[in-house]
Amino acid sequence: MPLPRPFVGGNWKMNLRLASAVELAEDLHAALSSQPTEPAIDAVVFPPFPYLQGVGRALGHGPPALGAQDLSAHEDGAFTGQVSAAMLDDLDARWVIVGHSERRHGLAEPQSVIRAKLIRGLEADLKVVFCVGETLAEREGGHAERTLVHQVRSGLEGLEAAWFRSIVVAYEPVWAIGTGRTAHPDDAAEAHRWIRQTLGDLYDSGLAAATRVVYGGSVTAANAAELFSRPEIDGGLVGGASLKAESFAAICRAAATRVS
Ligand code: PGA
Protein backbone atom coordinates (compact mmCIF):
# COMPACT_ATOMS: atom_id res chain seq x y z
CA MET A 1 0.00 0.00 0.00
CA PRO A 2 1.44 3.47 -0.86
CA LEU A 3 2.31 5.69 2.08
CA PRO A 4 -0.30 8.35 2.90
CA ARG A 5 0.17 11.86 1.48
CA PRO A 6 2.53 13.73 3.81
CA PHE A 7 1.21 16.56 5.99
CA VAL A 8 3.23 19.42 7.48
CA GLY A 9 1.47 21.94 9.70
CA GLY A 10 2.92 25.19 11.02
CA ASN A 11 1.28 26.13 14.32
CA TRP A 12 2.17 29.78 14.85
CA LYS A 13 0.55 29.76 18.31
CA MET A 14 0.30 33.24 19.93
CA ASN A 15 3.27 34.68 18.04
CA LEU A 16 3.98 37.40 15.46
CA ARG A 17 2.15 40.66 14.69
CA LEU A 18 -0.05 41.33 11.70
CA ALA A 19 2.75 42.70 9.52
CA SER A 20 5.20 39.89 10.34
CA ALA A 21 2.47 37.24 9.92
CA VAL A 22 1.61 38.54 6.44
CA GLU A 23 5.29 38.73 5.54
CA LEU A 24 5.85 35.15 6.70
CA ALA A 25 2.84 34.03 4.65
CA GLU A 26 4.17 35.79 1.53
CA ASP A 27 7.63 34.30 1.99
CA LEU A 28 6.22 30.82 2.54
CA HIS A 29 3.95 31.10 -0.46
CA ALA A 30 6.91 32.09 -2.61
CA ALA A 31 9.10 29.30 -1.23
CA LEU A 32 6.53 26.50 -1.47
CA SER A 33 5.21 27.57 -4.88
CA SER A 34 8.69 27.29 -6.35
CA GLN A 35 9.23 23.78 -4.98
CA PRO A 36 8.51 20.83 -7.27
CA THR A 37 4.84 19.93 -6.97
CA GLU A 38 5.38 16.17 -7.15
CA PRO A 39 5.26 14.35 -4.87
CA ALA A 40 2.60 16.50 -3.29
CA ILE A 41 2.22 17.21 0.39
CA ASP A 42 -0.42 19.04 2.41
CA ALA A 43 1.33 22.09 3.87
CA VAL A 44 -0.87 24.16 6.18
CA VAL A 45 -0.26 27.19 8.41
CA PHE A 46 -2.28 27.95 11.54
CA PRO A 47 -2.03 31.68 12.37
CA PRO A 48 -3.70 33.33 15.38
CA PHE A 49 -7.42 34.04 14.81
CA PRO A 50 -7.09 37.83 14.27
CA TYR A 51 -4.57 37.28 11.48
CA LEU A 52 -6.45 34.60 9.55
CA GLN A 53 -7.92 37.02 7.06
CA GLY A 54 -4.69 38.92 6.35
CA VAL A 55 -2.67 35.73 6.09
CA GLY A 56 -5.35 34.14 3.90
CA ARG A 57 -5.17 37.07 1.48
CA ALA A 58 -1.39 36.80 1.33
CA LEU A 59 -1.59 33.07 0.60
CA GLY A 60 -4.24 33.30 -2.11
CA HIS A 61 -4.99 29.74 -3.11
CA GLY A 62 -1.75 28.59 -1.47
CA PRO A 63 0.39 26.67 -0.90
CA PRO A 64 0.36 26.54 2.06
CA ALA A 65 -3.31 26.13 2.92
CA LEU A 66 -4.89 28.03 5.81
CA GLY A 67 -5.99 26.58 9.14
CA ALA A 68 -7.09 27.74 12.61
CA GLN A 69 -5.63 26.78 15.99
CA ASP A 70 -9.00 26.04 17.61
CA LEU A 71 -12.76 26.24 17.06
CA SER A 72 -15.86 26.31 19.22
CA ALA A 73 -17.77 23.13 19.95
CA HIS A 74 -20.94 25.20 19.47
CA GLU A 75 -22.57 26.25 16.27
CA ASP A 76 -23.54 29.86 17.04
CA GLY A 77 -24.72 31.98 19.93
CA ALA A 78 -23.79 33.40 23.31
CA PHE A 79 -20.23 32.08 23.59
CA THR A 80 -18.01 35.05 24.38
CA GLY A 81 -14.60 34.85 22.78
CA GLN A 82 -15.27 31.69 20.82
CA VAL A 83 -14.97 31.21 17.06
CA SER A 84 -17.31 28.96 15.11
CA ALA A 85 -16.63 26.56 12.26
CA ALA A 86 -18.80 28.69 9.97
CA MET A 87 -16.65 31.75 10.75
CA LEU A 88 -13.53 29.80 9.82
CA ASP A 89 -15.21 28.76 6.60
CA ASP A 90 -15.96 32.44 5.84
CA LEU A 91 -12.21 33.10 6.07
CA ASP A 92 -11.34 30.11 3.85
CA ALA A 93 -9.64 28.29 6.71
CA ARG A 94 -9.94 24.66 5.69
CA TRP A 95 -8.12 23.03 8.60
CA VAL A 96 -8.33 23.21 12.38
CA ILE A 97 -6.29 21.85 15.30
CA VAL A 98 -8.08 20.19 18.23
CA GLY A 99 -6.70 18.56 21.36
CA HIS A 100 -3.39 20.43 21.40
CA SER A 101 -1.67 19.89 24.74
CA GLU A 102 -1.51 23.65 25.33
CA ARG A 103 -5.32 23.49 25.54
CA ARG A 104 -5.71 19.89 26.81
CA HIS A 105 -3.27 20.38 29.69
CA GLY A 106 -2.57 24.13 29.67
CA LEU A 107 -6.28 25.07 29.78
CA ALA A 108 -7.65 21.81 31.21
CA GLU A 109 -9.83 21.28 28.14
CA PRO A 110 -11.68 18.04 28.80
CA GLN A 111 -11.81 15.09 26.45
CA SER A 112 -15.57 15.58 25.95
CA VAL A 113 -15.00 19.15 24.65
CA ILE A 114 -12.13 18.03 22.42
CA ARG A 115 -14.36 15.38 20.89
CA ALA A 116 -17.24 17.82 20.44
CA LYS A 117 -14.91 20.25 18.65
CA LEU A 118 -13.57 17.47 16.44
CA ILE A 119 -17.07 16.46 15.39
CA ARG A 120 -18.15 20.08 14.88
CA GLY A 121 -15.18 20.62 12.57
CA LEU A 122 -15.79 17.46 10.57
CA GLU A 123 -19.49 18.23 10.20
CA ALA A 124 -18.51 21.64 8.84
CA ASP A 125 -16.24 19.98 6.24
CA LEU A 126 -13.06 21.15 7.93
CA LYS A 127 -10.01 18.92 8.02
CA VAL A 128 -8.98 18.30 11.60
CA VAL A 129 -5.55 17.78 13.15
CA PHE A 130 -6.32 15.76 16.28
CA CYS A 131 -3.44 15.92 18.79
CA VAL A 132 -2.60 13.27 21.35
CA GLY A 133 0.46 12.81 23.54
CA GLU A 134 1.71 11.64 26.88
CA THR A 135 3.28 13.77 29.62
CA LEU A 136 6.80 13.13 30.86
CA ALA A 137 5.43 11.53 34.04
CA GLU A 138 3.29 9.18 31.96
CA ARG A 139 6.24 8.18 29.76
CA GLU A 140 8.61 7.72 32.68
CA GLY A 141 5.95 5.76 34.54
CA GLY A 142 5.64 3.36 31.59
CA HIS A 143 2.13 4.58 30.73
CA ALA A 144 2.71 6.24 27.36
CA GLU A 145 0.93 3.52 25.39
CA ARG A 146 -2.04 3.43 27.76
CA THR A 147 -2.38 7.21 27.59
CA LEU A 148 -2.31 7.32 23.80
CA VAL A 149 -4.77 4.45 23.40
CA HIS A 150 -7.15 6.19 25.81
CA GLN A 151 -6.86 9.56 24.03
CA VAL A 152 -7.33 8.01 20.58
CA ARG A 153 -10.31 5.93 21.71
CA SER A 154 -12.08 8.73 23.51
CA GLY A 155 -11.54 11.12 20.61
CA LEU A 156 -12.18 8.89 17.62
CA GLU A 157 -14.17 5.81 18.59
CA GLY A 158 -17.47 5.58 16.76
CA LEU A 159 -16.80 8.31 14.18
CA GLU A 160 -17.87 7.56 10.61
CA ALA A 161 -15.06 5.74 8.84
CA ALA A 162 -15.28 8.15 5.87
CA TRP A 163 -14.30 11.03 8.17
CA PHE A 164 -10.81 9.63 8.61
CA ARG A 165 -9.88 11.02 5.20
CA SER A 166 -10.28 14.44 6.87
CA ILE A 167 -8.42 13.59 10.08
CA VAL A 168 -4.68 13.84 10.70
CA VAL A 169 -3.60 12.41 14.05
CA ALA A 170 -0.65 14.32 15.54
CA TYR A 171 1.45 12.44 18.06
CA GLU A 172 2.87 15.20 20.25
CA PRO A 173 4.63 14.05 23.41
CA VAL A 174 4.00 16.90 25.84
CA TRP A 175 7.59 16.86 27.06
CA ALA A 176 8.89 17.49 23.52
CA ILE A 177 6.74 20.53 22.72
CA GLY A 178 8.69 23.77 22.72
CA THR A 179 11.50 22.21 24.73
CA GLY A 180 14.07 21.47 22.05
CA ARG A 181 13.88 17.87 23.23
CA THR A 182 12.71 15.84 20.22
CA ALA A 183 11.49 12.29 20.64
CA HIS A 184 13.93 9.72 19.29
CA PRO A 185 12.66 8.63 15.87
CA ASP A 186 12.42 5.02 17.13
CA ASP A 187 10.24 6.09 20.08
CA ALA A 188 8.09 8.29 17.86
CA ALA A 189 7.68 5.45 15.36
CA GLU A 190 6.67 3.08 18.17
CA ALA A 191 4.05 5.57 19.43
CA HIS A 192 2.71 5.89 15.88
CA ARG A 193 2.36 2.09 15.73
CA TRP A 194 0.34 2.15 19.00
CA ILE A 195 -1.94 4.80 17.51
CA ARG A 196 -2.41 2.83 14.27
CA GLN A 197 -2.97 -0.39 16.19
CA THR A 198 -5.75 1.36 18.12
CA LEU A 199 -7.31 2.58 14.87
CA GLY A 200 -7.02 -0.97 13.52
CA ASP A 201 -8.79 -2.32 16.62
CA LEU A 202 -11.54 0.31 16.36
CA TYR A 203 -11.96 0.05 12.56
CA ASP A 204 -9.69 -2.07 10.37
CA SER A 205 -6.09 -2.27 9.26
CA GLY A 206 -6.84 -0.56 5.93
CA LEU A 207 -8.23 2.52 7.65
CA ALA A 208 -5.32 2.49 10.11
CA ALA A 209 -2.75 2.36 7.30
CA ALA A 210 -4.46 5.10 5.28
CA THR A 211 -4.92 7.55 8.19
CA ARG A 212 -2.15 10.07 8.49
CA VAL A 213 -0.22 10.10 11.74
CA VAL A 214 2.33 12.90 12.08
CA TYR A 215 4.87 13.77 14.77
CA GLY A 216 5.08 17.07 16.67
CA GLY A 217 7.51 18.28 19.31
CA SER A 218 10.64 20.28 18.51
CA VAL A 219 10.70 19.33 14.82
CA THR A 220 13.38 21.38 13.04
CA ALA A 221 14.92 21.58 9.57
CA ALA A 222 17.82 19.57 11.01
CA ASN A 223 15.86 16.60 12.39
CA ALA A 224 12.85 16.44 10.06
CA ALA A 225 14.39 14.20 7.40
CA GLU A 226 15.35 11.53 9.93
CA LEU A 227 11.93 11.58 11.59
CA PHE A 228 10.11 11.44 8.24
CA SER A 229 12.32 8.59 6.99
CA ARG A 230 10.35 6.26 9.28
CA PRO A 231 7.46 4.77 7.33
CA GLU A 232 5.18 5.27 10.35
CA ILE A 233 5.69 9.07 10.39
CA ASP A 234 3.65 10.87 7.73
CA GLY A 235 4.93 14.38 8.42
CA GLY A 236 4.94 16.84 11.27
CA LEU A 237 3.16 19.50 13.28
CA VAL A 238 5.70 22.24 13.81
CA GLY A 239 5.66 25.11 16.29
CA GLY A 240 8.83 27.18 16.73
CA ALA A 241 10.46 26.18 13.44
CA SER A 242 7.35 27.22 11.51
CA LEU A 243 7.93 30.90 12.35
CA LYS A 244 10.76 31.16 9.80
CA ALA A 245 9.97 30.63 6.11
CA GLU A 246 13.31 28.90 5.38
CA SER A 247 13.00 26.32 8.14
CA PHE A 248 9.34 25.55 7.49
CA ALA A 249 10.00 25.23 3.74
CA ALA A 250 12.94 22.90 4.47
CA ILE A 251 10.72 20.73 6.69
CA CYS A 252 8.14 20.61 3.87
CA ARG A 253 10.88 19.53 1.45
CA ALA A 254 11.93 16.77 3.85
CA ALA A 255 8.33 15.51 3.94
CA ALA A 256 8.02 15.65 0.15
CA THR A 257 11.17 13.62 -0.50
CA ARG A 258 10.02 10.89 1.88
CA VAL A 259 7.70 9.36 -0.72
CA SER A 260 9.90 9.75 -3.81
P1 PGA B 1 7.33 22.96 18.80
O2 PGA B 1 5.71 22.89 18.91
O3 PGA B 1 7.67 22.54 17.38
O4 PGA B 1 7.66 24.39 19.09
O5 PGA B 1 7.86 21.99 19.79
C6 PGA B 1 5.02 21.81 18.34
C7 PGA B 1 3.55 21.94 18.55
O8 PGA B 1 3.12 22.45 19.60
O9 PGA B 1 2.78 21.55 17.66
Diameter of the chain measured on Cα atoms: 49
When divided into structural domains, the chain yields a total of: 1
Domain residues for 234? 7-242
- Entry pTM: 0.97
Phi and psi torsions of 126, nearest 5°: -85, 155
Q: Output the domain CATH number for residue 174.
A: 3.20.20.70
Residue minimizing CA distance to atom 3 of ligand 1: 239
Q: Is 152 exposed, middle or buried (0-12, 13-18, 19+ CB in 10 A)?
A: buried
User: Closest ligand 1 atom to the C-alpha of 177?
Assistant: 5
Within a domain: 95: yes
Please spell the DSSP secondary structure of 38-75, one letter per residue: SS--EEEEE--GGGHHHHHHHHTT-SSEEEES---SSS
Cα 185 to middle of ligand 1, angstroms: 16
Contact 40, 3 (CB under 8 A): no
Within a domain: 259: no
Would you write out the chain's pLDDT as a tens digit for each of its 260 residues? 778 999 999 999 999 999 999 999 999 999 999 876 556 899 999 999 999 999 999 999 999 999 999 999 999 999 999 999 999 999 999 999 999 999 999 999 999 999 999 999 999 999 999 999 999 999 999 999 999 999 999 999 999 999 999 999 999 999 999 999 999 999 999 999 999 999 999 999 999 999 999 999 999 999 999 999 999 999 999 999 999 999 999 999 999 987 64
Q: Tell which one of 177, 181, 214 to mutate to probe ligand 1, the residue whose CB is within 8 A of the most ligand atoms.
A: 177
